[in-house]
Amino acid sequence: MAEITVERPDWSGLYEIAAAQDGLFTTQQAAAAGYSPQLLIHHVRAGRVRRLRRGIYRLVHFPAGDHEDLVAAWLWSEQAGVVSHESAMALHGLSDVMPSRIHLTLPASWRARRLRVPKGVVLHHADVSPSDRAWMGGVPMTSARRTLADCAHASLSPELLRQAARQALVRGLVSRDELVEVDEALRPFGGVDA
């Protein structure tokens, strides 16, 4: 008779996964660490884990991160999305933009999916190449160049776009040659240097 091995829950493994994601993890990640849905519910009831939304959990005793809401949105996207537009601009510290919603770009192939989008999340669809990605802790976001281009195409206010482009230039995050879309969007308003 074949021997059946039962995978035991690995709290250290789950903690390691969550530590890289501001204390958050998904149901699938918990399952990979040996936690069945029933065992996960047991830990929720015991107060070790808190459910944030369907399929996304937080270790209660893990220090709260500054970007927990962004990490939760990224995990909701099955780690396929990337924080973008005004949300990425705020992460890069460009301009005085204060987004009221989380902007997340999903792969173009996801456009046909019927998704239940979490409250406060705005979806965009485009393929973001690895060279157009950056990381802020456990959060993937668009690079400064891609962020500025996305905001230019999304008609961000000229004042904020100009301020962000200037800051990115001064900080060396982009070169003047990388601001083609921004220059085009700001041309009716006097350009980047107005």
Q: CA-to-CA distance for 29 and 31, rounded, in angstroms? A: 5
Q: What is the pLDDT of residue 5?
A: 42
pLDDT per position as a tens digit, 48-107: 999 999 999 999 998 888 889 999 999 999 999 999 999 999 999 999 999 999 999 999
Report the alpha-carbon distance of residue 192 to residue 26 in Å, rounded. Answer: 42
4 falls in which pLDDT band (50, 70, 90)? Answer: very low
**Phi and psi, residue 105, nearest 5°:** -100, 125
Q: Can you give the pLDDT at residue 63? A: 85
User: Using CA atoms, how far apart are residues 156 and 1, in angstroms rounded to an integer?
Assistant: 66
What's the CA gap between 116 and 42, in Å, rounded? 26
* Tens digit of each residue's pLDDT (9 = 90 or more) over 120-177: 999 999 999 999 999 988 889 999 999 999 999 998 999 999 999 999 999 999 999 9
